[in-house]
Structure 1
Amino acid sequence: MHNGASKQHGYCFDVPAAGTANPQPLLDMGCFSHEAVAVDPVTGIIYETEDSNPSGFYRFIPKVPGRPSAGGRLQMMKLKVANNASISALGQTIAFFNTGAGFADGTTWDVQWVDIAEPNKPFISGTSYGGVVAQGLLQGGASLVRGEGCWYGNGVIYVCATSGGTVNAGQIFAYDPRRETFTLVYESRRAADVHMPDNIAWSPRGSLILCEDGDNEPQSLRGLTLDGKIFPFCHNNVNFDATGNYTRPSGRVFTGDRRGSEFAGATFHHEWLFVNVQTPGITFAITGPWDDGAL
């Protein structure tokens, strides 16, 4: 619980596209540092990432597809591979597999899932962390290094580990729910290529867009083809020191050099790519011609 908060944080909520929301936490989906979800439209299973380290990659199997409020079962991913890391928790050393240890692009593991018996257990007793992920690690669950972006496309779930890899610059994985495999699509081995991808989105033309949230300046949107080729798409050149302050009709004033602010929330809708610069809060609408490129 955050200092000064009157209620426990760390839950998912179901927000309808129209009408009034019911502001009740979805306890069965787990209590942890949620980052993103993706829904498999074939099964209705909801996949969840966790922004921490170690962090789990979870799936929530709803009792009623499309109605997570009806409850369901939470599971954490386990890979059929020998453990390569450990953490001290619960008075013992817990061994687990760290996907961020650095592997060749294209490396694929077979997937199993372990049940989380207490999804509404936010903390390891006596600490302020890890009540859910520890349950998975104790059963051999695999860890991402800061799981963030998550998106369904091409029949698979794409997952971003923002700080994964040998230089902690980020990794992109693909989970195939039909084959039950987990594949490293791309690992950044130079910050100059991409540094700490956060939100990701799938293009209807089959590639991925990555929102950078690292130390590069300017921050960038990077494209990623499904055969692992990274390329720059656009840079954040928002610099009010150079262009002059901007005042909205509401009176809000935009100032300063914002080129180091992260891109976030990219999403494609027909011919438009919508994306935000998180600080000071700007939304861009970008159009093609998409058919002339990978995105």
Structure 2
Amino acid sequence: MDRRNFLRGAVFGTSAAVFGGTLMHGAAYAAPAQNGTGPYGGLLAADANGIMLPSGFTSRVIARSGRTVSGTSYTWHGAPDGGACFADGTGWIYVSNSELATGGGASAVKFNASGSVTGAYRVLSNTRNNCAGGATPWNTWLSCEEVSRGYVYETDPWGAKAAVRRGAMGQFKHEAAAADPVRKVIYMTEDESDGCFYRFIPATWGDLSSGTLQVLVAGTGTTGSFTWTNVPDPDGSPTYTRDQVSGAKIFNGGEGCHYASDTVWFTTKGDNRVWRLNLRSSTYELAYDDSLVTNGSAPLTGVDNVTGSSSGDLFVAEDGGNMEICVITPAEVVAPFLRVTGQSGSEITGPAFSPDGKRLYFSSQRGTSGSSSGGITYEVTGPFRTTA
């Protein structure tokens, strides 16, 4: 038995005793989320786009890699990855990263109040492997390079201002970012098997040109308390940021990150876990672990990008698994929300809700072809709940 499976097995035997606290909006739970019936019911047969959805929901294709976005002259990028939505008057904008090793960057699609596409354009160019990122409260998109000693680029979703490299946020294998307007910090994940979890404290909130990079310090268990310690050399040279602070907690492949209500959730793909940090009590615990599902097969595997809805539900996309976006509810139930069929060589990326919460955007990074040139970006519309 390898070290990872041994540790996860040890956790399994004591989960009921050690997992206390809350998942979202004060809902109590005593163990990581368990398999159950989700708030939207079961999935129906695949629609014309190959997507299985609950009753009342429909899908449409927004863009395809290498093709012009319908109604525009803009060619959509390859390998679509992390994304976010921004209000634009009565309409909105969906920004999507490109995880290409050459070119990379990010693009945007603009919608009017009725949801029709009115424009598409580039917002970031000439970067590498732009994987996930995060939106800021001042309406910029943080696009993260998933390469060793990669950077965070602050971009303008409207494409009017040039993107700016934010070196003070550290050079490491960036994955996702989530802004906390209460503590005025940005949380960040690191996609390494021995990665860390970080926060950046800007010298001035709203200006990311300077500030302090810190790393989470905690024990080796799956629950406990944590503190923050300054990273001495955020540029990660000659020593990687994850190796500079003694006691920095190691996470196995940091992926998506989401903040809401004094809580930050993030995923780790190496062990199929969703972690929860209670920022009021400075404690951490598991919100989900596929090996701790006790009532049937784990519905969520290959955890990756994550977003949240106004109801307090988490929507977690799969990299692999059976190409699902699963929902984790405040009642600690985990269940499939949708499944993409016929695309087993791909992964689901970039889930993000429109500002009114009625539309969910996401991409299949490699589509039916299994190639970065075959990416497909979708929209799902339906009766998303606003309260749990």
Name the TM tier (shorter chain).
0.7 to 0.9
1:64-114: CA deviation from partner (whole Å, max 9, x where unpaired) = 111101x000010011x3xxxxxxxxxxxxxxx3x5xxx5xxxx3111111
Q: Is the 8 A contact 2:313 2:330 kept in 1?
A: yes
1:123 offset after TM fit, Å? 4.7
Q: Looking at both structures, which has the greater relative contact order when contacts are Cα pairs under 8 Å and sequence separation is at least 6?
A: 2
Alignment match, 1:13? 153
Match of 2:382 among 277, 288, 295: 288
Alignment match, 1:181? 283
Aligned runs of 1:8-157 on 2, under 5 Å? 10-18=150-158, 19-23=160-164, 25-69=165-209, 71-79=210-218, 81=219, 97=220, 103=222, 108-124=223-239, 131-136=240-245, 139-157=246-264
Residue type of the partner of 2:273?
A: Q
Alignment match, 1:200? 306
Identity %: 30
Alignment match, 1:235? 339
RMSD: 2.5
Distance change (3 Å), C-alpha of 1:21 and 1:176 = farther
Alignment match, 1:221? 325
Distance change (3 Å), C-alpha of 1:232 and 1:123 = farther
Secondary structure, counterpart of 1:14 in structure 2? strand
Gaps of 5+ in 2: 1-100, 103-125, 129-147, 367-373
d(CA) in 1 for partners of 2:173, 2:182: 27
d(CA) in 1 for partners of 2:265, 2:127: 35
d(CA) in 2 for partners of 1:188, 1:68: 36
Gaps of 5+ in 1: 82-96, 125-130, 165-169, 240-257
1:25-44: CA deviation from partner (whole Å, max 9, x where unpaired) = 32221111000000002232
Match of 2:316 among 181, 186, 210: 210
Secondary structure, counterpart of 2:243 in structure 1? helix
Alignment match, 1:160? 267
Alignment match, 1:91? none
Q: Is the 8 A contact 2:227 2:282 kept in 1?
A: yes
1:22 offset after TM fit, Å? 4.0
Alignment match, 2:3? none
Distance change (3 Å), C-alpha of 1:260 and 1:219 = farther
Distance change (3 Å), C-alpha of 1:285 and 1:22 = closer
d(CA) in 2 for partners of 1:289, 1:111: 38
Q: Is the 8 A contact 1:185 1:227 kept in 2?
A: no
Q: Is the 8 A contact 2:309 2:386 kept in 1?
A: no
Alignment match, 1:259? 344
Residue type of the partner of 1:278?
A: Q
Distance change (3 Å), C-alpha of 1:262 and 1:123 = farther
TM score, norm. by length of structure 2: 0.56
Q: Is the 8 A contact 1:209 1:221 kept in 2?
A: yes
Aligned pair count reads 232
Secondary structure, counterpart of 2:244 in structure 1? helix
Residue type of the partner of 1:184?
A: L
Distance change (3 Å), C-alpha of 1:132 and 1:148 = same
d(CA) in 2 for partners of 1:180, 1:143: 17
Distance change (3 Å), C-alpha of 1:40 and 1:292 = closer
Distance change (3 Å), C-alpha of 1:6 and 1:147 = closer
Secondary structure, counterpart of 2:168 in structure 1? helix
